[in-house]
Structure 1
């Protein structure tokens, strides 16, 4: 047994890499993309499940590249009910040994994984994210950068959490024992961020839990690379199981298991609602009440007052609305301003739309890539096509796809309307579509915050553009339940340990990912009291006979 109290140093956010033309990093990235594309992925063995080691199954599916449907990233194995049952059995059998490992040795694994990503695997993982998620080099890098930060800071937050202890006194020595949960955590991740895919499973692991992960089938290739990095960093083979395939088959079995201890989720609102209903219906069979932690969607607004710089507003709309094709739950999707402000903002927006090129992310002239899959591609186009026919959509501005494409490309699109209840203002689209609502000048300041508050069921991010501090404070107060992350510029780009990220209402359980409160969901706290003096009886206030 190691008799030491190691100190975990406070990390810094991982340094930014620009991949600008002429840099060494650009050259390395282009070479890695060429190497990856020259590889015959379909001739390679299928990406396996992970259940105490790789498991290749008989049923396999293709890893699709959204910006080039003729180019594949290989095959991946699909789990059956047998594999789900085996995964549960495996991680539960590993639990006691994982719990008993010294906390600092557990932490070391994830700090080492972060360092491996930041050095040895930075270029390969950025490349994998570009191909898997169809992100440009900037968007792919900041995604990987956030993954590094999640690993480093969650270790530090866990260390600080363990250090938070109650007072002791002359008669008692008191402590809180932060144990992992009794059972397994089910991590269900989305198809838009490698950082989220990594964090959903590793946050509970860092706190000593065992985890079964179900990554999105759209991004198996990059997740498998991250998994291999964890194993190289020293993660025991049996404390994390990874299942690919049918969400319904996997989800129904795991949510039905009596040892389900928690769910760590990011994805669609309907799916999260269904999971909560299932857990509620099964509540009698669980050994403990499962922790249900989730982030779903957003319909993120910018409220623009007339005193704001129109160029800055246009820039915030374009960066927040079209970065990563608008496939961020924090993406700007509705904007409120007066007609007079629109006249000043519109020339800048038109200029930006003319600058944005859409296409293969390996072409560094392209700002936008493709939509992740055919289903989402069709859904987004349905909203755009409807707007072209609706009288409430007064005007539609859009960019252009740069070439005859073989991918799920949609140009950046801006819809102008005077109807604050128009469908693209209310519903989450999850694509490169921003709707600008103009409100008459005489009603704007009186009505805009109430309109913004009531229009959407979501409450994730938002921004207010004004140079008037009193107007900003009024918005901060009125939108306190409508916005989980409140900004004065764009609605995106939260950084770990700087802007803890999450929201309420139908955006999720507001657990503040990227800060210590999220980790509180993955511990079971036990109070321990050791007395330094003997208990006596009777108390002095009781007179003897």
Structure 2
């Protein structure tokens, strides 16, 4: 093809297209209507746009006039009231008068207009309305594809309902389709090639346990419900398209499509399509692979090519997770990719039926001209646009191409609002074609410009910036700025295979005996404790030697010998060892994760993120010790020189937990070592094999002998002895409040020969609450509360054990939560399809089961899941009717037992949340700005999370730790944590000699 000539033809066709719809604009931009006025204001005022879209999102939950008026007041009054359009300002000004009829009337008008805006983009809230709208569309000459709103299914019950929704609309449509005449065809197919009935499905909505780590299970779960729908569609002679959603579902979606297309029952039927998103960098490769698969199997198929609807989501998730951004980062790049993929599809038109989905007239024109140049028959491609979104475009398309299909969502207004917000975001973005073409009146020549030229022009105008400058502090240390270790990305097959291989490798090593490690030597003892797999206690992974008091003495003596040299080692050199250890952890991340999967029952993602947090501690504390290692001048008076600096306190005893066996262990240990304090490390007996990994890491990193001493032992034998030892200066502990208080008590007593007051750093757990406000987004709240409560079996000090629900939303929340809890899979953590596994050991099992019985007595059991008979399993339990005074609401359980409490209002919910002796973590799900601000002030916990789960604090970004009975000391992963292992010193020098005073640049002089 002569692409230069084709590009000229594209521009010419585009200009003709614009001329044919001159003077028309999509209704969303029509300033003669309420919607148009509000949207025009939103495009001119970014702050208002954010508030408006957030208000639209919460509107369906505002079921009373009081709640509606309160939210209008919160979103549209205050300092920003001057920046709202006149059509809202009057209502917002009146909204503070809750008893005012005028305010209520205006609130009703606002609700009616926004609901009308949402209804503009859906064909109906029920099948009757949907069929009526489809009949009208058919009469107007348009084809359709129907999509049922409601993407977030949190339980298998909701998935069943979602499936039934499709069956209902298919039954309704079947009665009508016989009366529909085919478009532009004498046969029964529209345009001679396309079935009249067309349905689009979002696959993740058909299986609530869909996840990237379990592709096979996800595909099977999706097929269970999608297959009957497709069977019904085929029986009706219809077509189905499988939508593409977030990137995490892409692999499962493509596999689902292949399985369904090649199913022997349906392989004769070519009218199955799948969606690809041009904004993904991987799409061209995916397209080539699909075409090759189609050629190999001799199965023709349909393909809808879209730009993509989750750009912001994919970008933010990737950046937060430390992954490469998977989407093209500029609109011209996505446009280029769409044209490039379109050409490839058209070149294979004998195999692929092309469904070009775009409102961009340049893109549409490009497809038409490329098809013409390639002599592609008209029956091999069509165009698709969103219902209610681009009326002039669909009208012009119908006149020019004749083959236009409207993407028609239908269903309840609640999920309809989420759909509306996404559409509004897309079409009010600065780079939106519809906005530029119909609201901003950008010149047609610019709109029709080849996106490659646009990209060159934009890059010339704003060349790529150089990498951010390294701070003077980091430059001096030779280190790059701290970055959190990336999350595990299970969309990458190699990451999944890495776990399978590592688990097999670790399991092959079982049966070894693990010694102590003291002063650089391996030390064996006759006292052994077996470490077993909690999913199968008969599987002993290894025998661990136990230290007694004699071994503790040896370890402390080794640490004492190592102390002077390590104390005087420059901070930069100590940091080097930590950075080497971080690199070793990174290299061995799958192996270190696999040990946790088998030894303590952590799920794959939980284990990998534990290793990632350990790496973060090593990297962060390495940088922090360099920062703190530089003497700091204090004051600036002439004639004197004052320097503040730090020295290590001395030997540190690190008493570690089993629930974060590497992250917390390495966090406390690396903090001490970074500061120059040798360590005697006592791991939990439940996770001593993970603890042995630290021996291997520090040996390889070159840590001097005696600086790290590995001393697993029975608490009853050596616990108190280690804490009370006069040579121990610092005790870093993470565990139960009972043990933490005992350590503080023991450490407070001065022993013979003791030269320093002991410093106790203790993180002692929590009784964490999540508040669900009456306007909370339950799609998010239910999923995040499930994760906070039951990920790693609730065995996190930050886990949610109380959910406090404001009364108006209580019944709706409980219904969804209980069904979600009934839907998850329970079994060994090594199987990635399982959401929940066993608790860590038999004693934990006994403790949690006792609390389940207490819950049964104090409240009403809503959910009590059956669990495997063998292994350390406990039932996932949800109990309601709990009051603040109940034991279930006060005592830390450390297992999958969730207490549900009902509060009359948000203020009482905060009071309930604060009613325990703990203050570690908490969370709030609310879309009320005023309530979120109230939570910031009054919800008194060390780590508060707004509209997200209560677990997973990240080093540096969310320093972790609480107060009251949740802990003593500063926040782990924060800027002052290392200070707890250091003693400050100040040296002052008189610099004046016989009246002569050296002058520094920053000395103060009185003029």
TM-score, scaled relative to structure 1: 0.91
Could you say which residue in structure 2 is the equivalent of 1:296? Answer: 764
Question: Partner of 1:484 in structure 2?
Answer: 942
After superposing the two structures, state which structure 1 stretch, 145-154 or 312-321, moved more.
Answer: 312-321
Q: Structure 2: how far apart are the matches of 1:32 and 1:92?
A: 38
d(CA) in 2 for partners of 1:387 and 1:283?
44
- Give the distance between the partners of 1:334 and 1:261, measured in 2 at CA: 37
For the 8 Å contact 1:53–1:238, the answer to whether it is kept is no
**Whole-Å Cα distance in 2 between the matches of residues 353 and 274 of structure 1?**
37
Q: Is the 8 A contact 1:161 1:516 kept in 2?
A: no
Secondary structure of the corresponding residue to residue 497 of structure 1:
coil
**Pair 1:505-2:964 in alignment:** yes
Per the alignment, residue 14 of structure 1 pairs with 485
Matches within 5 A, 1:68-147: 68-119=536-587, 121-147=588-614
Equivalent residue of 2:531, what SS?
Answer: strand
CA–CA distance in 2 between the matches of 1:444 and 1:521? 41
SS state at 1:191 partner: coil
The 5 A counterparts of 1:43-62 are 44-62=512-530
**Distance 1:24-1:387 versus aligned 2 partners, 3 A rule:** same
Aligned twin of 1:249: 717
Aligned to 1:451: 912
Instruction: Quote the Cα distance in structure 2 between the aligned partners of 1:10 and 1:374.
Output: 44
Q: Residue in 2 aligned with 1:526?
A: 985
- Residue 164 of structure 1 and its aligned partner are, at CA, apart by 6.6
CA contact (8 A) 1:359 1:405 kept: no
Q: Highest relative contact order (Cα 8 Å, sep 6+), 1 or 2?
A: 1
**In terms of mean alpha carbon deviation, does 47-56 or 511-520 score higher?**
47-56
Q: Which residue of 2 aligns with 1:539?
A: none
Residue deviations 1:108-165 (CA, integer Å, cap 9, x gap): 000011011112x111111111112201100001111000000001111222223471
Aligned to 1:158: 625
Asked if 2 retains the 8 angstrom alpha-carbon contact of 1:49 and 1:244, the reply is no
CA distance in 2, matches of 1:169, 1:8: 33
Q: Is the 8 A contact 1:324 1:368 kept in 2?
A: yes
Distance 2:751 2:644 in 1: 27
| 1:169 CA displacement | 4.6
Task: Please report how far the alpha carbon of residue 418 of structure 1 lies from its aligned counterpart in structure 2 after TM superposition.
Answer: 4.8
Query: Going by fraction, where is helix more abundant, 1 or 2?
Result: 2
Aligned match of 1:542: none
- The answer for the alignment partner of 1:322 in structure 2 is 790
Q: Which residue is 2:925 aligned to?
A: 465
Contact preservation (8 Å) 1:158, 1:516: no
Q: Tell whether the 8 Å contact from 2:519 to 2:706 is kept in structure 1 after alignment.
A: yes
Mapped to 2, the partners of 1:325 and 1:418 lie a distance apart of 21
Q: Is the 8 A contact 2:970 2:977 kept in 1?
A: yes
| Matched position secondary structure for 1:516 | coil
1:413 partnered with 2:413: no
Superposed CA RMSD: 2.0
Alpha-carbon distance in structure 1 between the residues aligned to 2:751 and 2:911:
38
CA shift, 1:405, in A, is 4.0
**Of the candidates 796, 799, 804, which is equivalent to residue 331 of structure 1?**
799
Give the equivalent residue in structure 1 for 2:841.
373
Structure 2: runs of 5 or more not aligned: 1-474, 996-1007
**Once structures 1 and 2 are overlaid, which stretch shifts more, 275-284 or 462-471?**
275-284
Task: Write the distance in 2 (CA, Å) between the matches of 1:422 and 1:81.
Answer: 41
Matches of 1:269 and 1:514, distance apart in 2 = 21
Give distance in 2, aligned partners of 1:324 and 1:298: 16
In 1, the alpha carbon distance for the partners of 2:716 and 2:538 equals 28
How far, CA to CA, are the matches of 1:447 and 1:240 in structure 2?
A: 49
Task: Flag the 1:217–1:51 CA change in 2: closer, same or farther, 3 A.
Answer: farther
Query: Structure 2: how far apart are the matches of 1:248 and 1:9?
Result: 45
Deviations 1:434-466 (A, max 9, x none): 111113xxx423422223222x11000001221
Secondary structure, counterpart of 1:464 in structure 2: strand
Deviation at 1:209, TM superposition (A): 0.7
- Alpha carbons 2:882, 2:889 under 8 Å: kept: no
Rate the CA distance shift 1:28–1:408 in 2: closer, same or farther, 3 A. same
For residue 420 of structure 1, report the CA deviation from its aligned partner.
3.0
Which residue is equivalent to 1:474? 934
Q: Which residue of 2 is the match for residue 26 of structure 1?
A: 496
| 1:517 corresponds to which of 958, 976, 1001 | 976
Question: Are residue 38 (structure 1) and residue 508 (structure 2) matched?
Answer: yes
Q: 1:5 to 1:448 in 2, by over 3 A?
A: closer
Task: Indicate conservation of the 8 Å contact 1:157/1:515, yes or no.
Answer: no
Report the CA distance shift for 1:468/1:5 in structure 2 as closer, same or farther (over 3 A): closer
| Residue 394 (structure 1) aligns with | 860
State the alpha-carbon separation in 1 of the partners of residues 883 and 910 from structure 2.
Answer: 15
In structure 2, the partner of 1:436 is 900
Deviation at residue 206 of structure 1 after TM alignment: 0.6
Q: What TM-score do you get using the length of structure 2 for normalisation?
A: 0.50
Structure 1, unaligned runs of 5 or more: 537-545
Q: Aligned residue for 1:543? A: none
Corresponding residue for residue 659 of structure 2 = 192
Structure 1 contact 65–132 (Cα < 8 Å) conserved: yes
Structure 1 pair 5–38 and aligned structure 2 pair: CA distance change class (3 A): closer
For residue 385 of structure 1, report the CA deviation from its aligned partner: 2.2
Q: Deviations over 1:61-86 (max 9, x none)?
A: 11111111121111111112211111
Q: Distance in 1 between matches of 2:924 and 2:777?
A: 12
Give how far 1:5 is off. 5.8
Measured in 2, the distance between the counterparts of 1:139 and 1:473 equals 31
* In 2: Cα distance, 1:535 partner to 1:211 partner: 49
Contact residue 357 and residue 400 of structure 1 kept, 8 A? no
CA shift digits 1:311-367 (9 cap, x unpaired): 222112101000111000000010111343122213332332233211111111111
